[in-house]
Amino acid sequence: MKKYLAILKMQVINNLAYPGDFLGRSVSIAVFLFIFAGLWQTTYIIAGTASINGLTFANMMWYLMMAETIELGRPRTNRIISEQVKNGEVAYILSKPYNFVLYHFSFGLGDGLMRIVINILVGILVTWLLAGPPPSLLGWGMALITMVGAWILHFCMMALIGLAAFVVEETNSFELIYQKFVFVLGGMMLPLDLFPQWLQEIVRVLPFPYMMYAPARLFVKPEFDLFLQMLAGQWFWVGVLVVLLALAYRGSEKVLTVNGG
Amino acid sequence: MTAIEVNQLTRAFQSKRKAAGLAASARALFQPEYNTVEAVRGISFRMEAGELLGFIGPNGAGKSTTIKMLTGILHPSSGGARVLGFTPWKEREKLAFQIGTVFGQRPQLWYHLPAIDTFLLFGKIYELDDRETQKRIDLLAEAFEIRDLLETPVRKLSLGQRMRCEVAASLLHRPKLILLDEPSIGLDVVAKQHIRDAIRRMNQEEGVGVLLTSHDAGDLEALCKRVIIVNHGQIVYEDKVSNLKRKHLTTKLVEVRYAEEVPANFRLDGVEILKVGRYGVKLRFDTDQTAVDSVLAHLSGVGELVDITISDPPLEEVIAKIYREAAPASS
């Protein structure tokens, strides 16, 4: 276990090697939040109401802040695996005594933690200015707990896509398709509460809401029933995807061809 | 004890084939055609523990593919191999504790961080305790003369400095065997010498076996006792380096300088004259066909000798000759 912690730590140190670049990336969350604030302010004014399907403007902004933090902090494992397959670095990764998938988990988490922390800090600052004070401590607690499962789900999906690189090398297009599913069905652009009832019911049987909607919604409206329901669904999907990932890894190991042989 | 045993190892790759142009590209979308390339074709050899074995061949000969199968990264198409008692592609993680690897063209050190950070990380990955890691770092820092480089970000090191750190890193966990794939590629003479000295030292002191691929015959001469030459995925030559020289270095190069002018019609039977200058001659002959003493006797008969140099052709030429002789008619 120690080795995976060491890899995580190494990636944190690696991010600190270029503090300027690292801080620069945090600007994007501020830009997104300003744009969303403009859009939703207009929407609420045109609708002439203080709350849409139970969500106020402030709720909406804090929801989006949490969703953006997760999107920007999710692992980029597929891109890293693609890159390593293309430049042959994967040969080193595979010739060390650790599990390839867990290596990428630690590597991605080291990266993700740094980005999540900086995005939450910048996000709080900007959202507080635009929409008023943040949700209650209970909201924070539920959001942070469900973020763990959400991050793991994202990791499994990105790693599954990344393993495809062993066969096709380039996986960006798969990631784009996946990202659009999360944007729409995961409730990143729009909380699921605003979807028509029938669509909500379909979406809830898919893994996507657990990756984005769960922590963001519980953050602004912490409800105990929903929390348990979301946790259960989340870890059910974690189980499914971990099994899929393990199977996919076993299969892909055999077809791997290292470039430059 | 045997470190590596390879039996009829074969690896084929499928690669897409496409003619030039747009129409062919469109056709390839629907009816892709594949070429099967046999990178390694039934290689068998043994390597003893602690041996320094050179594995050389031209680009595309199958050297790296073989190394990747021996580390367990690639599954072979057929055939078998045991490395330190493990079947590499089945027991990759267990084997990884016992071997070190360097792929010369790719960095394993974290590029933006000082090498010391990677060394410490490797200590954790190979499950060494912190004191042991520190002791190894001290020893390797001295053997590879990298003490002053360890705290500089890797991206700021020269290629030669970086390679010394790379090879040192691969030895951190006291492997029984290291597989070095082109460790001297792109290095200047001094840097090559540095790396070779350190590798030889670690081999002598710790008994670590070294399997080294290279297309630099200098690495072979300086480091290896035995050599395997591969071409087109097959072993074309396997022997001691000293035998390689004895059997194949049969031509000699001779340069002579005289006190007086060389006669313009200078000739010598059974000898190839490369150059006739005003006071000197350069020639080449095969010791199997022309006796050395008859050549020397003739040369000293021409005039008063001031200087004479007799040398072997570079090993590279010898190896190139072996490649040519072994080239299969089919390819």
User: What is the mean predicted confidence (pLDDT) over A4-27?
Assistant: 87
* Encoded tokens for A143: 């959001």
Q: What is the pLDDT of residue A260?
A: 44
CA angle B210, B213, B217 (to 5 degrees): 105
Q: Which residues of B touch A (CB under 8 A)?
A: 13, 39, 64-65, 68, 71-75, 92-94, 96-97, 99, 101, 103, 105-108, 110, 112-113, 117, 120-121, 124-127, 153
With cut-offs at 50, 70 and 90, classify the pLDDT of residue A156. Answer: very high
Cβ <8 Å between A95 and B106: no
State the alpha helices, DSSP H only, in A186-220: 197-203, 213-220
Q: What is the pLDDT of residues B250-279, one digit of tens each?
A: 788 899 999 888 887 788 888 888 888 889
Percent of chain B at pLDDT > 90 equals 47
For B13, the closest chain A residue by CA position comes to A257
**Least trusted range by pLDDT, from B18-22, B108-112, B272-276:** B18-22
Residues, chain A, total?
261
Q: What is the pLDDT of residue B327?
A: 64
- Contacts of residue B121 in chain A, CB cutoff 8 Å? 6-7, 10
CB A213 within 8 A of CB A237: no
For B37, the closest chain A residue by CA position comes to A261
Q: What is the pLDDT of residue B84?
A: 96
3 state SS of B54: strand
pLDDT at residue B184 above 60?
yes
Residue B25 neighbours by CB under 8 Å, 6+ apart: B18
With cut-offs at 50, 70 and 90, classify the pLDDT of residue A189. Answer: confident
User: What is the mean predicted confidence (pLDDT) over A199-218?
Assistant: 93
* Strands in B33-77 per DSSP E: 33-48, 52-56
Give me Rg for the CA atoms of chain B. 25
Cβ <8 Å between A91 and B105: no
Q: How far is CA B21 from CA B18, B26, B28, in A?
A: 9, 9, 11
Q: What is the pLDDT of residues B78-97, one digit of tens each?
A: 999 999 999 999 999 999 99
Q: What is the pLDDT of residues A141-153, one digit of tens each?
A: 999 999 999 999 9
Who has greater pLDDT, B241 or B215?
B241
Shortest distance, CA B207 to any CA of chain A (angstroms): 21
Cβ <8 Å between A89 and B110: no
CB B63 within 8 A of CB B236: no
Report the predicted TM-score, pTM, of the whole model to 2 decimal places: 0.85
For chain B, the distance separating the N- and C-terminal CA atoms, rounded to the nearest angstrom, is 37
CB-nearest to B125 from A96, A256, A261 is A96
Q: What is the pLDDT of residue A236?
A: 97
**Least trusted range by pLDDT, from A62-76, A188-202, B42-56, B246-260:** B246-260
CA distance B325 to B70: 28
Shortest distance, CA A149 to any CA of chain B (angstroms): 26
- Contacts of residue B68 in chain A, CB cutoff 8 Å? 91, 258, 261
With cut-offs at 50, 70 and 90, classify the pLDDT of residue A257. Answer: low
User: What is the mean predicted confidence (pLDDT) over B46-50?
Assistant: 95
Cβ <8 Å between A92 and B106: yes
Who has greater pLDDT, A49 or A240?
A240
- Contacts of residue B64 in chain A, CB cutoff 8 Å? 260-261
A219: amino acid identity, one letter: F
Q: What is the pLDDT of residue B331?
A: 41
Q: Are strands B33-48 and B2-17 parallel, antiparallel or unpaired?
A: antiparallel
Highest mean pLDDT among A190-199, A212-221, B49-58: A212-221
Shortest distance, CA B1 to any CA of chain A (angstroms): 23
CB A63 within 8 A of CB A191: yes
CA angle B196, B202, B203 (to 5 degrees): 85
pLDDT at residue B217 above 80?
no
Q: What is the pLDDT of residue B211?
A: 95
CA distance B63 to B57: 7
A101: amino acid identity, one letter: V
With cut-offs at 50, 70 and 90, classify the pLDDT of residue B202. Answer: very high
User: What is the mean predicted confidence (pLDDT) over B34-62?
Assistant: 90
User: What is the mean predicted confidence (pLDDT) over A12-40?
Assistant: 87
DSSP class of residue B114 equals B
Shortest distance, CA B224 to any CA of chain A (angstroms): 23
Who has greater pLDDT, A258 or B271?
B271
CA distance A156 to A151: 9
Percent of chain B at pLDDT > 70 equals 98
Indicate the average pLDDT of chain A. 91
CA distance B197 to A261: 27
Cβ <8 Å between B68 and A91: yes
CA distance B248 to B314: 11
With cut-offs at 50, 70 and 90, classify the pLDDT of residue A256. Answer: low
CB B86 within 8 A of CB B95: yes
Q: Are strands B177-181 and B226-231 parallel, antiparallel or unpaired?
A: unpaired
CA distance B211 to B153: 29
User: What is the mean predicted confidence (pLDDT) over A28-41?
Assistant: 93
Q: What is the pLDDT of residue B330?
A: 43
Q: What is the pLDDT of residue A259?
A: 53
With cut-offs at 50, 70 and 90, classify the pLDDT of residue B328. Answer: low
User: What is the mean predicted confidence (pLDDT) over B95-113?
Assistant: 90
Cβ <8 Å between B106 and A89: yes
CA distance B104 to A4: 26
- Contacts of residue B124 in chain A, CB cutoff 8 Å? 2-3, 5-6
Q: What is the pLDDT of residue A261?
A: 41
For B12, the closest chain A residue by CA position comes to A257
Shortest distance, CA A36 to any CA of chain B (angstroms): 36
3 state SS of B90: coil
CB-nearest to A95 from B71, B75, B153 is B71
Shortest distance, CA A254 to any CA of chain B (angstroms): 6
CA distance A250 to B68: 18
3 state SS of A52: strand
Percent of chain A at pLDDT > 90 equals 68
CA distance B100 to B78: 25
3 state SS of B261: coil
B107: amino acid identity, one letter: P
Q: What is the pLDDT of residue B33?
A: 79
Indicate the average pLDDT of chain B. 88
Q: What is the pLDDT of residues A215-230, one digit of tens each?
A: 999 999 999 999 999 9
3 state SS of B79: strand
